[in-house]
Structure 1
Amino acid sequence: MSLLSPACRDALQHWLASQSALNGAAENTLTAYRGDVGEFLSFMTLHFGSPQGLGALQDITISDMRAWMAESRNSGTGARSLARKLSAVKSFYRWLAEREGFEPSAVLMARAPKFQKKLPRPLAAEAAKAVLDTVELQSQSDWVAARDVAVVTLLYGCGLRISEALRLQGKDAPIAAVLRITGKGGKERIVPVINAARGAVDRYLSLCPHSLDHNGPLFRGVRGGALNPRLIQGVMAKARAQLGLPATATPHALRHSFATHLLEAGGDLRAIQELLGHASLSTTQAYTAVNTAHLMEIYNRTHPKA
């Protein structure tokens, strides 16, 4: 970032502020954007031999873009990561072009490298149920065991991200039939809560030794502070080891399992999108690919002509 001209630094900072204010970008997203676009602008400084003002950025050609992408690949950046970086750069350039009044076509025409999109890795329904049962066995303390079961049941039963479950507060208890969840980018959604999840949280509440403040965290650590997500990740790691499940059986895999099992049961893709809080239907459509892959596996294994 020290290679950048003051004008470039200011433009980058203003763009990041706009992403936060207008699009509700999360802090982690802003950090990634800052690194990706800052890296691109720094490369252009070295590429042209001097710090570039905003005027020079308007003259970047498709050849310059290819040089940056080639250097990124040569330095070990994978195709998926480079596609992410290019997306951030294009977003910055759309904003900059509108603000400065120039045509950003050379940057926007740059094509991201092709890569094989990773499909979600859900658990089978039987495995997901076994995980819930096994998580309870990982602690000698009844209230800690009940807490861990309550969290993972919310992940699988409601499709919550672990960060969303751990952001629940004392005022959310007892858990109602529906929860208002604030997800990525500040996007709110309404999530129905199955009876098993409500029951698991009620049991935790009845055993928890800590007083739960109205605006304090619902799920507490042993010393009374907010529960660290790494503890739930660790509990899941122990459970999957005991069950012989793969390393992909993480807390987030329970969210994937929630979506996949709803789809397999005939759930509507648009409804599942709303339940998961996906901004784009294309994100949710990955689960149709999972379902198709599962069906083809059964077909190839059982069809007499296979």
Structure 2
Amino acid sequence: MAKLLEAAPGTKYRAALGVAYGAGLRVSEVAHLKADNIDIKRMLIRIEEGKGRKDRNAMLSPQLLELLRLWWREGKRRSVLLPHGRLFPGRSYTDPIATRQLHRAVCEAAEAAGIRKRVSPHTLRHSFATHLLEQDVNIRVIQVLLGHSKLETTALYTKVATRTIHAVTGPLDRLMTLMQGQTRRGPPAG
């Protein structure tokens, strides 16, 4: 993820892709964000009419906020951001950036970073969920952050990494450890 974000073609795309990964947003949700959706006081991103026309809050980390501030300063300097307008404007400052343009930005970043796997903006959302799961965040919390109504949908997104699998102690290993402990101490009294 770090390589992909670093290779993004410019501050605007680094911030947009950072939102997709850092908050687990769908590409359409990123595209339709407005400056007013960023709640700095509560450190939240307000998603209005996401999938299923549902509103929800997404997380806003300090690092993501800093990335957005960098884009805000550059966008203001270039006169492409309006005070209550789109956070990531398209060709017209009042229109949202096209999701297809965000897809192209991800592909360009992946190529520039030397990533050979096929990636899309949705890969960032998958990675968000997987990385939270690897940090032992409860899957129910991940479900809420992703805006899923069904836990089964969230489970499809969370690919467990090899490192996580290796960290799990299997039931046979636990049993053998317990049995070895009993052998060293002798049979239980009884």
Q: Which residues of structure 1 form unaligned runs of 5+?
A: 1-127, 139-144, 300-306
What is the rounded CA distance, in whole Å, between the counterparts of 1:179 and 1:131 in structure 2? Answer: 22
Residues 70-85 of structure 1 aligned to structure 2 (within 5 Å): none
What is the rounded CA distance, in whole Å, between the counterparts of 2:60 and 2:13 in structure 1? Answer: 17
1:149 aligns with 2:14: yes
Paired residue total: 162
String of CA shifts for 1:90-139, please: whole Å, max 9, x gaps: xxxxxxxxxxxxxxxxxxxxxxxxxxxxxxxxxxxxxx11101010xx3x
Of 14, 33, 48, which aligns to 1:168? 33
What is the rounded CA distance, in whole Å, between the counterparts of 1:240 and 1:170 in structure 2? Answer: 27
Residues 187-206 of structure 1 aligned to structure 2 (within 5 Å): 187-206=54-73
1:265 aligns with 2:131: no
Q: Which amino acid aligns with 1:148?
A: Y
CA contact (8 A) 2:39 2:46 kept: no
Task: Report the alpha carbon displacement of residue 231 of structure 1 after superposing the two structures with TM.
Answer: 1.7
Residues 209-224 of structure 1 aligned to structure 2 (within 5 Å): 209-214=79-84, 216-221=85-90, 223-224=92-93
Query: Which residue is equivalent to 1:64?
Result: none
Q: Residues 284 and 211 of structure 1: is their aligned pair in 2 closer, same or farther, counting only changes over 3 Å?
A: closer
CA contact (8 A) 1:153 1:196 kept: no
String of CA shifts for 1:124-172, please: whole Å, max 9, x gaps: xxxx11101010xx3xxxxxx1111110000110001111111111323
What is the rounded CA distance, in whole Å, between the counterparts of 1:292 and 1:231 in structure 2? Answer: 29
What is the rounded CA distance, in whole Å, between the counterparts of 2:74 and 2:29 in structure 1? Answer: 22
Name the larger-Rg structure: 1
What is the rounded CA distance, in whole Å, between the counterparts of 1:298 and 1:268 in structure 2? Answer: 17
What is the rounded CA distance, in whole Å, between the counterparts of 2:125 and 2:115 in structure 1? Answer: 16
CA contact (8 A) 1:263 1:287 kept: no
Query: Which residue is equivalent to 1:131?
Result: 4
Q: Residues 212 and 273 of structure 1: is their aligned pair in 2 closer, same or farther, counting only changes over 3 Å?
A: same
Q: Which residues of structure 2 form unaligned runs of 5+?
A: 169-190
Task: Report the alpha carbon displacement of residue 260 of structure 1 after superposing the two structures with TM.
Answer: 0.1
Q: Secondary structure at the match of 2:5?
A: helix
Q: Secondary structure at the match of 1:285?
A: helix
What is the rounded CA distance, in whole Å, between the counterparts of 2:91 and 2:161 in structure 1? Answer: 43
Of 87, 103, 106, which aligns to 1:233? 103
- Superposition TM-score, scaled by structure 1 size: 0.48
What is the rounded CA distance, in whole Å, between the counterparts of 1:270 and 1:247 in structure 2? Answer: 29
Q: Secondary structure at the match of 1:291?
A: coil
Higher helix share: 1
The Cα RMSD (Å) is: 2.5
Q: Residues 237 and 212 of structure 1: is their aligned pair in 2 closer, same or farther, counting only changes over 3 Å?
A: same
What is the rounded CA distance, in whole Å, between the counterparts of 2:167 and 2:45 in structure 1? Answer: 36
After the TM superposition, which segments of 4 or more aligned residues of structure 1 sit over 6 Å from their partners? none
Residues 1-306 of structure 1 aligned to structure 2 (within 5 Å): 128-135=1-8, 138=9, 145-173=10-38, 175=40, 177-182=43-48, 183-208=50-75, 209-214=79-84, 216-221=85-90, 223-224=92-93, 225-288=95-158, 290-291=159-160
